[in-house]
Amino acid sequence: MILDVTTLSLQEIRNLVEKGEISPLTIVTELLKNINSNSDVNAFITITDKLALSQAEDSALRIAKGNPRSLEGIPIAVKDVFCTKSVLTTAASKMLENFIPPYESSVTQKLWNSGAILIGKTNMDEFAMGSSTQTSYFGVCKNPKNPHYVPGGSSGGSAAAVANYSCYAALGSDTGGSVRQPASFCGIVGFKPSYGRCSRFGMIAYSSSLDQAGVFARSVTDACIVMDQIIGKCAQDSTTSSEQWSKLEDIIAKVDGKTIGYIPKQMELVTKDVRQNWELAINILRAGGAKVIEISCNELDSTIGPDQKLTDRWLATYYALTPVEAFSNLSRYDGIRYGTHITADNLENYYLNTRDQFGKEVKRRILLGGHILLNERHKGHYCKALNYIQNMRYQFNQIFNKVDAILSPTSPHTAFKIGTVLSPEAMYAEDIFTIPANLLMAPAISIPSGVCCDGMPIGIQLMSNRFNESKMIEIAKFLEDQMSMGGK
């Protein structure tokens, strides 16, 4: 029987590499074959084949000398929002189609310092604005589980690459669910740590107060192995935290004695298959010895009336804040400081031609951000959103004094078909279950938990209080084991 190295877990392939039973060159060669044979998925914007083979040779020499690092010889894909020195970095935008950074992002540098190999830069929604990876200048990415469906977004290419056995893990960015939602759609694990755990230096900004690096993998343990390497204080990013953490890879699955909360009102927002899957997860946790309790919307916001939805306030807060930060962050792309230079006969046309390189969704959010900042709307929208976030964090802190984690579906439904026409409002509502973790600066993880009637994956999400990744991972590993066995 011939071993298919592409389908092994990161943990398994790492063990084989460390023992010298397989060469990094062999691994890279097999993965490149897989990527090329599945090019129709369009998971990659740039395939770094020559660089990967060179890095594999370096890893092989280090292994031969008996000095392997923690991720030695392991190919990893990187969302094209992270700057990689001397490697094309586009943010899936025409604006940056020729941008080759002269520096490396902090999190990718940590990966290379750990011996990891860059296999390629993955497709995404332009400037991380979207929930389907359909807004990319480089074409739509497809879901490996069914090419007629989207992989989710904005980190859809990274999710597709992992699900399609084109790498052992991938980096993504998560502003409102952009790691967890595509992980759910593609049937893999998506892990967003607490805000401040990972440096944002070298990550092309969308909404700076919410953006955070995350990891895709095919198991919780694999995601933890990578996350352990990229967490930590960074001198180039003052928002990073020196808060201590346990080595996530070594955490043992445990739910006995844990208290886990869920919000019953959210069950009204999901499809039948997703609700049944959620109920199964609750029953599995209870059978494992956990106490599962209900959390009322009133506990999280006492001003919510009987005819109002708490999720509407979360969405309104998120979309009052992120376009404003996008408006600020994207103002630098003027073709002079950043962005592709477009010639014109006068300065006004120069700016118009340059800014026209943005796609429709990016333009929409820039315009929305500018609209919110108009004098008469500033206090009514942006300032109100900032105040609401503070109140939201206080209320959730009270809840996290009672529970170790909160359980919910990752998405209200499974992947939808490519080309499905959704209004901007409907597309924004894709993140109704994932947004709270970003607003709270909290860690959250999506794990595959089953399939719906059409065979598309379902994800279940766990969220813990900020800097409490350890408890969340204990529960996630237990739930992953049990859900994979159907709760038996």
Strands 75-79, 169-174: pairing is: parallel
User: Position 132: which residue type?
Assistant: S
186: confidence class by pLDDT, cuts 50, 70, 90: very high
For residue 444, pLDDT over 80 is answered with yes
Please, what sign has the CA dihedral across residues 151, 157, 159, 160? positive
Side chain identity at 425, as an amino acid letter?
A: E
For residue 111 the two structure tokens come to 């990966």
Closest to 333 measured CA to CA, from 371, 305, 301, 359: 359
Q: What are phi and psi of 226, to 5 degrees?
A: -75, -45
CA 455 → CA 167, 208, 364, 448, 450, distances in Å? 23, 36, 34, 13, 9
202 pLDDT tier (thresholds 50, 70, 90): very high
Helices (H), 356-452: 360-372, 375-378, 384-400, 424-428, 435-439
Identify the residue whose tokens are 């477009």: 342
The residues near 266 (Cβ < 8 Å, ≥ 6 apart) are 311, 408, 409, 433
Which domains are delineated in the chain? 1-488 (3.90.1300.10)
Span of 274-278, 323-327, 371-375 with lowest mean pLDDT:
371-375
In the predicted structure, residue 415 carries a pLDDT above the cut 60: yes
Query: pLDDT grade, residue 352 (50/70/90)?
Result: confident
pLDDT > 70 fraction of the chain, expressed in percent and rounded = 98
Confidence of residue 342 (pLDDT cuts 50, 70, 90): confident
Rounded mean pLDDT of 404-425?
92
What band does 485 get if pLDDT is binned at 50, 70 and 90?
Answer: low
pTM to 2 decimal places:
0.96
d(CA 148, CA 130): 18
pLDDT digits (tens, 9 = 90+) for 102-149: 999 999 999 999 999 999 999 999 999 999 999 999 999 999 999 999
Catalytic annotation, residues? 79, 154, 178
Mean per-residue pLDDT for 461-466? 98
Show the tokens assigned to 26. 């062999």
Residue 40 has pLDDT above 50, yes or no: yes
In this predicted structure, the answer to whether residue 487 has a pLDDT above a threshold of 60 is: no
The predicted pLDDT at position 486 comes to: 59
The answer to whether 390 touches 445, Cβ cutoff 8 Å, is no
Share the mean pLDDT of the chain: 95
- Hey, which residues does 192 pair with through a beta bridge? 444
Q: What pLDDT is recorded for position 333?
A: 94
Q: For residue 438, is pLDDT > 90?
A: yes
- Residue 1 banded pLDDT, cuts 50, 70, 90: very low
Residue corresponding to tokens 């209004």: 423
Average pLDDT over residues 179-200: 98
Binned at pLDDT 50, 70 and 90, residue 380 comes out as confident
pLDDT band at 2 (very low <50, low <70, confident <90, very high): low
pLDDT (average), residues 343-369: 92
User: Considering only 54-68, 243-257, 295-309, which range has the smallest mean pLDDT?
Assistant: 295-309
CA triplet 83, 111, 57: central angle to 5 degrees?
105
pLDDT recorded at residue 400:
98
What is the band of 220 on the pLDDT scale with cuts at 50, 70, 90? very high
pLDDT digits (tens, 9 = 90+) for 273-316: 999 999 999 999 999 999 999 999 999 998 887 767 899 999 99
Tokens of 244: 């201590």
